[in-house]
Structure 1
Amino acid sequence: MRKSVLIWGAAAVATLGMAGFGGWMISLPSGTRAANAPLVPQAEADAMLASLRPTKRERPLVAVIGINDATETTDYLVPTGILRRADVADVMMLATRPGPVQLYPALKVEPDATITEFDANHPDGADYVPAMSRDDDPAALAWLRSQAEKGAKIIGICAGAKVVGASGLLDGRRATTHWYYLSEMLRRSPTIEYVADRRMVSDGNVATTTGITASMPMMLTLIEAIAGRIKAEAAARDLGLERWDARHASAAFKLTRPFATTVLANQVALWNRDELGIRVEPRMDEVSLALVADVWSRTYRSSVTIFSTSTDVVETRSGIRVMPDQVRVNWPEGRRASTFPDRKPADALDQALEAIAGRYGHPTTNVVAMQLEYPR
């Protein structure tokens, strides 16, 4: 989910609330009803694996595309980190033009190549393309279509489904996306058949997922399709996940009155803002880094600054090159955000959410989890 969700609190909630539209706030549901995620039939799970199996190369080539100034942090870094550490494919991070990729809501990284350079070196295209970014960039949309024509399987992570939809690759297909963008996607691409209660959906050579944290089960499913169940189980243990199936309770994620009032209250508390520092170090876990930086940037009370002891690019465990925002030896006590280096990424995410609850209260944690579409 891109920065527009963060802006929503200031632009939409604050505007409506302060302009006297109290009725609008009251009209929102008071909460989300308890919902159980229905089981996914085994035949459906098997069909998804079959649709994702590689058909072009014995060792697949994965191209993760981003727009230089409009790419979601976890959508870009989490698939790359998970696939590289599983070592089941060659993974390249691409950008639509030269230069670094500024991620939202935090982090800046150096891509491996531009889409033009990739096409020159790999004229037959990639095997898989995880897509995430703004859905109005002509270069990105054209490149996705060209990769699909060359036989690549396209995976739209979170709001990336909107991008895939805008490229025309979801017309007449079954799909899902982040709850916040669902109506927009269906309005722009009315022939899409929305599938509720699924964290990921596959139709032909295109797969889509729900919110931000769905990138983890989606990548584990891809690993299983490429290299088998045992390899996927090992990758899941490395992440700290017990399961990665498509179960999801869609009714649990929607715009509610508690969400809106918490966002509004946090947004108007201008005197009470935190700039939190995360120190990047060589060989650190990039999946935990992405998840922790993301959640602390979604509280409407805090922002994240990435710092290091020098201006040098810092290379993570899986070779992602992070560019620090500031050069600092340290960060003030009480204003550092831990990436929990002794924990696995899924545990680090839970620990960060608990830390947010301790600092700002459980309503703010619920706001963050709702933005992540994270089934806690």
Structure 2
Amino acid sequence: MRTPVLAAAATAATLAFLQPVAPWAATGPSVALVRADGLTLPAPKAGRARPLVAVLADNAGAETTDFIIPYGVLKESGVAEVRSVSTGPGAVRLRPALRVLVDQTTAQFDAAEPAGADIIIVPAQVKPKSPELAAWLQAQAAKGATVVSICEGARVLANAGLLKDRRATTHWSALKGLTKAYPDTTWVRDRRYVQDGRVISTTGVSASIPASLALVEAIGGRPVAQATATRIGVREWGPAHRTADFQVTGADYGHGIAALAAFWRHETVEVPLADGVDEVALALRADTWSRSYRTHVAITRPGLGSVRSRHGLTILATGEPHEGAYRLPLQSGPVAAQIEDDLTSMGRRYGPEAARLAKLGLEYDPPR
């Protein structure tokens, strides 16, 4: 997940854009072992008109964009029933900036859905070796779920044994370590997402956007995915990617360490929270600005409390507004344009080095 909060010495995290997929397979549970282009998914389980998708977080913490983008994009498309799920009751901290309340705990989900989910989305987690995460994912996979890791969610899958003898990918900065830790997995470079049977994995944080659109296309077909992409302002979601474009230089390390050490220059940036907030825009803005190594992002609302997002996620304010604070107002709009605007604004405010660190952390591919 590589955030300033969770890995202060690292200068990486996650973002990218994926590609199309074939419509939801109507031929039962078989799936293509490995496809070069789109994704192939089994039909929904008996009695379901649409697939049931669980977006999973451990209460100890999960990555903001990895969690919220699949939730928001799949909800926006209307092709699936989407539920947010956590390992236990209470608020979930989405690193680096958000707090949310989910629809169900894993125990509640199991009681309501004994047949299990059709698709499980696994973001990067603060505790990737959590026994609770591993046990639940193993049980869901045994019931036939397709498991999708976003970014370093691949660590969770590898720990659960779900990547053994499979091909997979992850955030660029984690590839070397995971190759050493899990040599029985073939770790793939230069692709935004990889499918091997009922396991799908993606590159860094921003890959949550193309991966989500790829899932939409696999379920609902190309026209639905294209309409969804148009509404959120994404031009393409293909698998093309150059891992070699992302590497930390000595200058990057030097700037990151200097920025962290100069804590008196750090700034709190506020993102106002209101009912009906676009959760996709909120996640991207909070995540991008948090990766400058110069900011703390506060999600503010007078009187604190909570709101319901555009697609029904309960989001908790983390602070009160302060007069004179630097604010980042939210509005729905083109995703790629917002990322580009945020990186440009960050560069003007803190210097181009800060924007570069954020781009590396997000593993952000500018749209082609």
TM-score normalised by L of structure 1: 0.87
Which structure has the greater CA radius of gyration?
1
Paired with 1:53 and 1:365, the residues of 2 have a C-alpha distance of 40
Give the counterpart letter for 1:54 in structure 2: A
Change (3 A) 1:288 1:100: same
What's the offset of the Cα at 1:273? 1.2
Give the counterpart letter for 1:219 in structure 2: S
1:365 to 355, 359, 362: 355
Give the counterpart letter for 1:301 in structure 2: R
What's the offset of the Cα at 1:320? 1.0
What's the Cα RMSD here? 2.3
Q: Is the Cα–Cα contact under 8 Å of residues 64 and 80 in structure 1 kept in the other structure?
A: yes
Change (3 A) 1:50 1:253: closer
1:208 to 187, 195, 201: 201
- 1:216-231 superposed matches below 5 A: 216-231=209-224
2:43 to 54, 64, 67: 54
- 1:225-240 superposed matches below 5 A: 225-240=218-233
What's the offset of the Cα at 1:165? 0.8
Q: Which has the higher contact order (CA 8 A, sep 6+)?
A: 2
TM-score normalised by L of structure 2: 0.89
1:102 to 93, 99, 105: 93
What's the offset of the Cα at 1:271? 2.0
- 1:1-376 superposed matches below 5 A: 1-3=1-3, 6-9=5-8, 11=9, 49=38, 51-56=40-45, 57-132=48-123, 133=125, 134-328=127-321, 331-333=322-324, 335-339=326-330, 341=331, 343-376=333-366
Give the counterpart letter for 2:163 in structure 1: L
What's the offset of the Cα at 1:196? 1.3
Change (3 A) 1:54 1:194: same
Give the counterpart letter for 1:52 in structure 2: L
Change (3 A) 1:312 1:90: same
Q: Any unmatched runs of 5+ in structure 1?
A: 14-36
Helix, strand or coil at the partner of 2:213 = helix
Helix, strand or coil at the partner of 1:163 = helix
Paired with 1:316 and 1:116, the residues of 2 have a C-alpha distance of 24
Aligned length: 347
Give the counterpart letter for 2:112 in structure 1: N
Change (3 A) 1:234 1:46: farther
Paired with 1:199 and 1:145, the residues of 2 have a C-alpha distance of 25
Q: Any unmatched runs of 5+ in structure 2?
A: 12-16, 23-31
Q: Is the Cα–Cα contact under 8 Å of residues 270 and 299 in structure 2 kept in the other structure?
A: yes
Q: Is the Cα–Cα contact under 8 Å of residues 166 and 188 in structure 1 kept in the other structure?
A: no
